[in-house]
Structure 1
């Protein structure tokens, strides 16, 4: 793997590295701080930046203070030999990876550059790991919908946006009727297949990148529909109800057919004092859902 190294040095001295390192590094030089910052800004591929203590137009430390806003390249500071000890503590406080004496031999410098490039790789591996872990906490592993952890912040932001700009916002709370009976009769494996089938069907019938589907409870889902009046959300809920009712299928040799109930509530700009809080929206949607199920299930109830 080749590593892109930016060397910012007024003297434009390219280091004399051993030949075995020629395939590991792409070395690029810049004559002053302004040119170096421009190169950093033009590409995200830099692994390491080696900057001299004194540049023609700024100090190396001033350069690095700006460089961190442009690039994640690991910083190295090249200093005169007699200033190395004096710069160590200061460099550590600025998260400079290493202070490099000007007299450093080529093979030693090559190892330092390689260590810095490996450090760059480790940092990005850790960032990727944290990102994957964050995604795992936001996605329900069974259904592929968002998890409840994601909902609170997302719904709060959507409601705040609706309040600010006077837009409609609707929520649909869904519950699969009789899932407990499916689990008891056919086992939780079949019940999980019913849940997954409902989730995938729902994801296919909402607006991609606009609406969100969250697994709200064991057999409940919450849909958030920005810029959607309650009447429009009711039509979405009825379409989902009909599709799910028609979707009876064989699961592990058993014919399983379920229905779902829906409670719809929303924020209406013309009545901005009503349902202006997340808890209010969820409370009304929950009440509508309970009434739909109490009426026999397989129904949609909207609360204007």
Structure 2
């Protein structure tokens, strides 16, 4: 998960999508709170319109714009709080509220043309909110903030021209606000994604075997046993498990060394992952050279067929050990156990299936290794 040096966002779209989905509830909450908070103060500043223009003029000239902001931001806040908005919908709501607020601000500034110094201060505060408190992509925030700054300076020059030195100072101050706002937003992006990356690394370390990348036994007991069993029972589908063990692995370690042994384990794991269904089947490193396959919605015939394909593929991989003086070659023994959970009269559990597969695997060992033994529980 590499983080882009300029935006502070993940370079890989899949990683960025995972982060945004993980943060979505917090993002919606932040958006709703910020919009309500800003709307309240936006309306409160109507008293300054009254002080500057008088009640009747303010009601006609500026109140509709402030009311439009309140309605737009309030609606977007309600959507953020009450509706399961997607990431893109949340960004759209944020952008819509910002555009309406900025456009209304420009209109109000034109109604009070002799106060552009104060308006510049107000715009600076709005830019800080856009960069730091309205959740959006950094590039969207920069475009909105830069465009609004340019429009504001153009209004100053067109509606109430001021000395060049004053205009230059105002422009530089707004550029400074934009620069520090963008840098602060980038830093926040980087810090939040770095935290997410560390959490993901810790989760992977807790769930995955470091050598093969397969799930570990802890994850099996903490998550998979209950999940797969409840799913099989709920839908009344068959469930098959395959327990497999690399043959003569101690001899491989003794004669080739542990580094070669690790290579053999990693290659076997890669084969298992490659030949099972991604997102459906689960590969678990069950022990040193033992692996467990959990195959949802798979009958005994399907499990046997997969195990036989795996057996042939692993035994046919002559490159792992090559021609060696020890006469060793790669092979594995497989135990396949299955139960159809459409049968509600018998209450087998997933540990029952694993135990049966374990016994079958050792039976395959006793019967000469490099073979598949199978059974359907009744």
Give the TM bin, normalised by the shorter chain: 0.5 to 0.7
Cα distance in 2 between the residues matched to 1:39 and 1:111: 30
Higher Cα Rg: structure 1 or 2? 2
**Given that residues 249 and 256 in structure 1 are in contact (C-alpha distance below 8 angstroms), is that contact kept between their aligned partners in structure 2?**
no
1:133 is aligned, of 187, 202, 219, to 202
- Identify the residue that residue 252 of structure 2 maps to in structure 1: 182
Cα distance in 2 between the residues matched to 1:250 and 1:241: 15
Structure 1 alignment gaps of length 5 or more: 14-28, 51-67, 74-105
**Given that residues 171 and 266 in structure 1 are in contact (C-alpha distance below 8 angstroms), is that contact kept between their aligned partners in structure 2?**
yes
Q: Secondary structure at the match of 2:334?
A: strand
TM, length-normalised to structure 2: 0.54
- Identify the residue that residue 219 of structure 2 maps to in structure 1: 150
Q: Secondary structure at the match of 1:249?
A: coil
Q: Offset of 1:302 from its aligned partner?
A: 0.8
- The within-5 A match list for 1:36-115 is 36-37=76-77, 41=85, 42-44=89-91
Structure 2 alignment gaps of length 5 or more: 1-5, 9-30, 46-65, 99-132, 138-173
Per-residue CA distance 1:116-163 (angstroms, 9 max, x = gap): 875565344322311222023222221122222222212321111111
2:359 is aligned, of 263, 287, 291, to 287
Change (3 A) 1:2 1:176: closer
Q: Kindly indicate which of the two structures has a greater share of residues assigned to strand.
A: 1
**Structure 1 stretches of at least 4 aligned residues deviating more than 4 Å after TM superposition:** 38-41, 70-73, 110-121, 250-256
Q: How many corresponding residue pairs?
A: 239
Cα distance in 1 between the residues matched to 2:242 and 2:195: 38
Q: Secondary structure at the match of 1:175?
A: strand
Per-residue CA distance 1:72-129 (angstroms, 9 max, x = gap): 99xxxxxxxxxxxxxxxxxxxxxxxxxxxxxxxx999x97997687556534432231
TM, length-normalised to structure 1: 0.65
Q: In terms of mean alpha carbon deviation, does 198-207 or 254-263 score higher?
A: 254-263
- The within-5 A match list for 1:14-25 is none
Q: Secondary structure at the match of 2:332?
A: strand
